[in-house]
Amino acid sequence: MSQWITRTLLIVTLIILLPTSLALADSGGSVSARVTWVIVPFQSLTIAGQPEGGDGVSDHFTLPPPTQADLVRGYVERDAALVLQATSNVPWTVKVHAVEADMGASTDGSTRKPLSDFLLRVDNGAYLALSPFDQTLASGSAGSTLLSVDYRVSVDPQTYVKGDYGVTLIYTISGS
């Protein structure tokens, strides 16, 4: 998109300046011009492999029933659960937040799974606890960057109660 804007501005500038330059050249004069323009910041966040997006994407994660190995380990993990592509012509920041206040209720209704049990990280970095408020997930410089996002949900073998647990995550990109 920024290349298209640059090319369009250059063509418009040439169209405006060319007749003036030719008229002055015919009259033996000279011409000089100063051309300036502003390139507006552009950011796009998409799920890798999908068509170009806007400034945000969403993902819904449903917690599968934990296996015995998950319970022993204490968590369910999905490596590269989501791969995002951040594209920007200025330094950028990707933030994430949950839509829901928790991950839902147990089947018997006795327990609500807290969002703090849901952790995520980018490119094998440090885990971040999910929140209903925007939190910085990643940042970078101008260009296009792939971000591999891992999900981890804590399941305490002593207190885990079966349920329909899930969460909707909203990812947004903005200039830093």
Most distant CA pair in the chain, distance: 92
Residue 121's CB is within 10 A of a number of other CB atoms, namely 17
128: left (phi over 0), alpha (psi -120 to 50) or beta: beta
Strand order in the sheet with 118-122: 43-47, 75-88, 143-154, 118-122, 128-129
pLDDT of res. 29: 67
pLDDT of res. 28: 61
Residue 125's CB is within 10 A of a number of other CB atoms, namely 11
Low-confidence ranges of the chain (pLDDT < 70): 1-29, 53
pLDDT of res. 37: 83
Residues 100 and 20 both lie in one domain: no
Tens of pLDDT along 61-110? 999 999 999 999 999 999 999 999 999 999 999 999 999 999 999 999 99
Take residue 95 and report the two structure tokens written for it.
């933030």
Structural domain of residue 14, as residue ranges? 1-40
pLDDT of res. 20: 52
Residues 78 and 34 both lie in one domain: no
Residues 18 and 95 both lie in one domain: no
Residues 16 and 74 both lie in one domain: no
